[in-house]
Amino acid sequence: MFNKTTSPNFKDFGDITYKELDSNTSTFYKFSNKSIKNFKLTTDDNTMISVSKGVVMILVSLGINNIKSFIINRNLIIKKGVYFNFISISDEAEILISSHSNEFPLVDLEEEYTYSSISSSLNINEIYTKFYQEKGINYNFPGETHPYWELTYVDNGVLSTTVDGKDYELRQGDLIFYAPLQFHTQSTLDKNSSSYLTINFNMDFNHHELLCNKVFNLQRESYSVVSNLIKELSNDSIYSNDLALCYLKQLIIQTLRLENSYSQSRPTTHMQQTYENQLLNDIIKFINDNIDSKISVDTLCSHFCISTSMLHSLFKKNMNNTVKNYINELKLNKSKELIKSSTYTLSEISEILGFSSIHYFSKKFKSSFGVSPTEYSKSIYK
């Protein structure tokens, strides 16, 4: 974070003043530099500085090695014997300097000091297309290239893809990027179906090697970002497009951080959070492994020896969802996967997933997806 010249830390180098500088007796400087190679040295106690345009960072030191930086937010008086110089944070800046001597000896720095601006290194300019695709078994897309980025996120099932002649397999929660002009195919296997999100977009990003030719398995914190992205892409509310671009950028940055974290030691976390993360992961795995059984809150509490309130708290805090809703959503998504496999009848699917009746299953399915299981099945194999 930046320090301001009104900070107590600036007291060693000078102080603020509400006195205005006389432009007729002051020296005017206009500059846009983002780095400095030398310092000016104050030779009296009356050096006054005022910013007349832009955002200015003043660099100060009592020697030439221990450099401190402050954003100028008031008129200043610099103490005698202080080394100082300026960097323009804005595109350009203007200042006034008033001093009795008007002479500032220059002292070269051992190394050039450069300001690292807070700017974006990854810009998404436009989303071209957005599809939520649901493919049954033996789907085969022979491949294409195009001059823009593409993202594919697998929501359910298994998706196979070939990128520049190399084969990859994506499962639920996996994400892959295709760079501009990178040839890629997509297909499902003879025993698997797949549901996945596909987004084509224009992005300014120079480090293709960080995203391409690899499969990313998203962590839990990215699931809500994907959910919000899908929501805004399907929304016509004001600024939904802007939010969608923000969520897409957030997803990409979190993916880049995930990749980078593999080569770094992970920071120590609070013991309680570590325990909660492990417990929640175990509960989610248990639910996924037993989704074809009748799972209740009591079943989970008994199996993991925790209270009902703790279970609800875990899901609310980390999943922003209730346990019951999570299980129902998982069952309904699983039902779509089973329908696409064309192995079971709708009655069998209802029974496999533990719904009380085919009528209740159909009601919940239509409430969640807007179509009945029968209509959904016809749309897949139309």
pLDDT tens column, 169-194: 998 889 999 999 999 999 997 777 88
Structure-block tokens of residue 55: 């955002």
Burial of 68 by CB count in 10 Å (0-12 exposed, 13-18 middle, 19+ buried)?
middle
DSSP assignment of 93-124 equals EEEEEE-SS----EEEEEEEEE------S-EE
pLDDT of res. 262: 43
Per-residue model confidence as pLDDT tens digits over 49-70: 999 999 999 999 998 778 999 9
Q: How confident is the model at residue 259 (pLDDT cuts 50, 70, 90)?
A: low
Residue entry with tokens 């300026």 = 86
Per-residue model confidence as pLDDT tens digits over 95-111: 999 988 778 899 999 88
pTM, two decimal places: 0.61
Q: How confident is the model at residue 9 (pLDDT cuts 50, 70, 90)?
A: confident
Instruction: Give all domains of the chain, ordered by start, each with its CATH number.
Output: 8-114 (2.60.120.10), 123-261 (2.60.120.280), 271-380 (1.10.10.60)
Strand, helix or coil for residue 350: helix
pLDDT of res. 273: 59
pLDDT of res. 200: 96
More confident residue, 318 or 122: 122
For residues 275 and 253, is the Cβ–Cβ distance under 8 A? Answer: no
Examine the pLDDT at 199 and tell me if it is beyond 90. yes
Examine the pLDDT at 356 and tell me if it is beyond 50. yes
**Amino acid sitting at position 345:** T
Q: Please list, residue by residue across 182-203, b when 16 or more beta carbons sit within 10 angstroms of its beta carbon and e when fewer do.
A: bebebbbeeebbbbbbebbbeb
Structure-block tokens of residue 144: 């294409």
Cα atoms found within 13 Å of the Cα of residue 231, Cβ hemisphere only: 10
Structure-block tokens of residue 213: 């030719």
Q: What is the 3-state secondary structure (H, E, C) of 281-319?
A: HHHHHHHHHCCCCCCCHHHHHHHHCCCHHHHHHHHHHHH
Q: What are the φ and ψ backbone dihedral angles of 88, each rounded to 5 degrees?
A: -85, 115
